[in-house]
Every structure is written in C-alpha cells, then in structure tokens.
C-alpha cells in the first residue's frame, strides 16, 4: 500500500510503501477512493493542530471509500459498503483503518469526492 508520510513538523510529505492496516475487533478497513486536504491537515503537518498525533504521521482527516475488511465485533457494516468518515489522520493512503462507529453509510447518489470533502466543511 502507498501512503504519504510527514516525518517531522514542517517536513515535506514523502510517498511511503507499507503493509495494509488490519482492523481490530471494532474497526473496519477502507479502500480510500477520495480524501480531502484541509486547514486542519495543514496545521497538523506543521505540528500546530490541537490533536496532532506523534510524528511520523499520515495526514488526511476525511475519507470516502469502500469497506474491504471488518473486525469480528462489527455488525453495522459489511465488506463492500460505501462509507465516508472523519478519521483524525491517515486518510492520504490507499487504505485506512477506522473505528466502525466513525463510518457514515453513503447512498449511491453521493460520489466519493463529494463525500470526502463534505464532512469537515459541514460537520
């Protein structure tokens, strides 16, 4: 899997290749179809966001995509479901793992780019 990594505050992102994240019992794995880069992500890259995870980090607060794996305790989603989510970070990747309760089911009438950009703007 490919993802962007920021190794230290204000450092340029680099393309990294690593293993796909596996969901734990209450999580789902998402094949990211679209993500958004917003002001909070830029603050995070600078190390100035109030909820910046430790470096190195993968930015990307919002994603939209398809569920590809579920944890054993997840009963609200299935593989193949279309979702959008606010992840906190990690969205600038081919795959992301999120808590299942962060996922919002998407109707077929909303495309992935719209869903990814919609969340922080209107949350």
Q: Residue 28 pLDDT > 70, yes or no?
A: yes
Q: What residue ranges do the domains of the chain occupy?
A: 2-122
pLDDT tens track for 51-97: 888 999 999 999 999 999 999 999 999 999 999 999 989 999 999 99
- For residue 114, which of 33, 9, 52 has the smallest C-alpha distance? 33
Please state, in angstroms and rounded to a whole number, the distance separating the CA atoms of residues 32 and 92: 8
Question: What is the share, in percent, of the chain residues with pLDDT greater than 90?
Answer: 85
pLDDT at 123: 61
Domain at 2-122, CATH from 1.20.1250.20, 3.40.190.10, 3.40.50.1970, 3.90.180.10: 3.90.180.10
Where does the pLDDT of residue 106 fall: very low under 50, low under 70, confident under 90, or very high at 90 and above? very high
Strands 14-17 and 82-86: unpaired
The number of beta carbons lying within 10 Å of the beta carbon of residue 6 is 22
Task: Classify the C-alpha dihedral 105-110-116-121 as positive or negative.
Answer: negative
pLDDT at 30: 98
- For residue 88, which of 40, 47, 48 has the smallest C-alpha distance? 40
The number of beta carbons lying within 10 Å of the beta carbon of residue 101 is 12
């Amino acid at each position: 899997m490919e993802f962007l990594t920021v190794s230290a505050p204000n450092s340029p992102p680099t393309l990294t290749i690593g293993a796909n994240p596996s969901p734990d019992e209450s999580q789902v794995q998402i094949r990211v179809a679209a993500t958004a880069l917003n002001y909070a992500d830029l603050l995070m890259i600078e190390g100035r966001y109030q909820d910046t995870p430790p470096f190195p980090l993968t930015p990307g607060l919002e994603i939209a995509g398809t569920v590809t794996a579920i944890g054993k305790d997840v009963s609200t989603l299935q593989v193949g479901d279309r979702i959008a989510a606010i992840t906190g970070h990690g969205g600038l990747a081919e795959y992301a793992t999120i808590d299942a309760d962060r996922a919002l089911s998407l109707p077929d009438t909303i495309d992935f780019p719209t869903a990814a950009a919609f969340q922080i703007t209107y949350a």
